[in-house]
Structure 1
Amino acid sequence: MSERFDCKNCKKSLYGQQYIQVENEPHCITCYEGLHANTCQECKEIIGHNAKELAFEDRYYHEHCFRCFRCDRSLADESFTSHGDLLLCSDCCLNEFSSKCVSCDKTIMPGSKILEFDGSSWHEDCFVCHSCEKPIGGEAFVPNKNQYYCVPCYEDRFTPRCSHCNKALTKGGVTYKDELWHRECFLCAGCSAPLAGQPFTSQGETPYCVKCFSSLYAKKCAGCNSAITGFGDGKYISFEDRQWHQPCFKCSRCSVSLVGSGFFPYRDLILCTDCNNDD
């Protein structure tokens, strides 16, 4: 009497029948597919024993179900990637998930150098200065109304320029009579001393330090013979063709202040009322 050769699960004889070994135990085709066959991730059908099976990350597919989610291209012999449960061919993955250059509208391929700013992306060669059209690369740049400039071009086109040297004013500076200077360029027209942060005045449109203005243009006080500059000596008083510092406007005889008082000119003198009455 021959030894029995039955299916491990249903005990059906396997003599003359196809069977599959599972852990060294024979199973009929029906039991194998019911108990051990994988389910296709795509169509949710059993992957039969005679079907070609493809596996990826603990997921199983019929060969004909292993396709790109977007274009339906077979991935059996293609490079692909996955996003969640979705399989995508390389082309669709690039179109779906890779950045596009805002300049040329082409996909920025993985591994390519990408430049990003304010939510936009560029190929390295597409990120160029709006003025000179040279690639900016990793250099400093200045955005201006959705346009991008290298620093030299921005300074050349938009940055105010010094009235003295005509070079760009990138920070600080001095404003005088609606014109701009670098602090180091704002100088006295007489002695070239820096005027930034110092008292100064002008003759016409030309700035001078107090010393030069006093020497060149200021009128002399009839009392002390010093220059009347308006700096440090307060208001001044003018009478006919003479001027006085306010503290110097005194009676020529008794030295009483004549500021706000009546006075009398007498030859080259100015006299208070009392001294004038003495005469």
Structure 2
Amino acid sequence: VLCGGLLGTGTFRRYGDEEAVCEGCYVSLVLEKCAGCGEAAEETVTCESMPGKVWHPECFKCSACSEVLEGSFHHKDASLFCRGCFASHFLPRCARCAKPIEDGALTALDCTWHQSCFTCAFCSKPVTSKRFHTTASAPGDVDARPVCEPCHESHVLPKCGACAKPIKSGSCAVFKGQKLHKECFCCVECKNPIQSKYYQQDKGVACEGCVAKATSSGIMVRGVKGRA
């Protein structure tokens, strides 16, 4: 019915409304072409996400490793990939373990991480809070790791020379090479924080007010003058 040739006693196929088609026309004109090898395909495999394409079962294989696809697979553009090759070639890699991230990627510190790999550099616990710190020594440090708030306080922040607690604010007093909370840098006499000038004595530091009182009472004050 397609080429007009006599069927004779040769092999023929039924096509459409019971029309007879010779074997040659059936293969070349009726059968769909395999997207893998381009040859006519009678037994085919299809992919719902790639409509209009069919493959021979043996041609339905990964474009990277050539393994026949079974079970789950991926496709990119017109190419098919097994899960392993797709992950290796196209998925982002974790900044910590360097393995592909299939789902649940977390983006931080200009990198992509598995959520389970985004852990504190000190305690190794997952960092889940939006507020965290980093070990980065400079912007763009590729080796930067997150640091949780408790570890930042205990391992990174400078400690007060008086109370040994972390100094969270940037403003602090410095005395004899030690950093102190401003509220911990107190006059040895009145116990109030020193606001400006002080006198360094053997027993500690005295504020300007206490020194003035002592001087007005006839007490000689010896010490090195300084400023907070």
Matched-pair contact (CA < 8 Å) for 2:12–2:20: no
* Offset of residue 82 of structure 1: 0.3
The residue number in structure 1 matching 2:60 is 66
Distance 1:25 1:118 in 2: 68
* Offset of residue 119 of structure 1: 4.4
The residue number in structure 2 matching 1:265 is none
Matched-pair contact (CA < 8 Å) for 1:125–1:137: no
Ranges in structure 2 where 5+ consecutive residues have no aligned partner: 137-142, 219-224
Identity, in percent, stands at 27
In the comparison of the two structures, how many residue pairs are matched? 206
* Alignment map for 1:147-226 (pairs within 5 Å): 147-177=145-175, 178-196=177-195, 199-204=196-201, 206-217=204-215
Distance 1:64 1:203 in 2: 89
Distance 2:124 2:90 in 1: 29
The residue number in structure 2 matching 1:86 is 79
TM-score of the two chains, using structure 2 as the length reference: 0.72
Equivalent of residue 18 in structure 1, options 12, 15, 33: 12
* Offset of residue 40 of structure 1: 1.7
Secondary structure of the residue that 1:216 maps to in structure 2? helix
Matched-pair contact (CA < 8 Å) for 1:172–1:183: no
The residue number in structure 1 matching 2:117 is 126
1:195 partner letter: I
Distance 1:31 1:171 in 2: 84
Distance 1:116 1:23 in 2: 59
The residue number in structure 2 matching 1:141 is 132
1:217 and 1:153, CA in 2 relative to 1: closer, same or farther beyond 3 A?
farther
1:97 and 1:89, CA in 2 relative to 1: closer, same or farther beyond 3 A?
same
1:158 and 1:188, CA in 2 relative to 1: closer, same or farther beyond 3 A?
same
1:204 partner letter: Q
The residue number in structure 2 matching 1:248 is none
Distance 1:218 1:201 in 2: 16
TM-score of the two chains, using structure 1 as the length reference: 0.61
Matched-pair contact (CA < 8 Å) for 2:199–2:208: no
Distance 1:53 1:167 in 2: 72
Distance 1:218 1:186 in 2: 24
Larger Rg: 1 or 2? Answer: 1
RMSD value, Cα = 3.0
Matched-pair contact (CA < 8 Å) for 2:173–2:181: no
Matched-pair contact (CA < 8 Å) for 1:20–1:29: no
Question: RCO greater where, 1 or 2, for CA within 8 Å and sep 6 or more?
Answer: 2
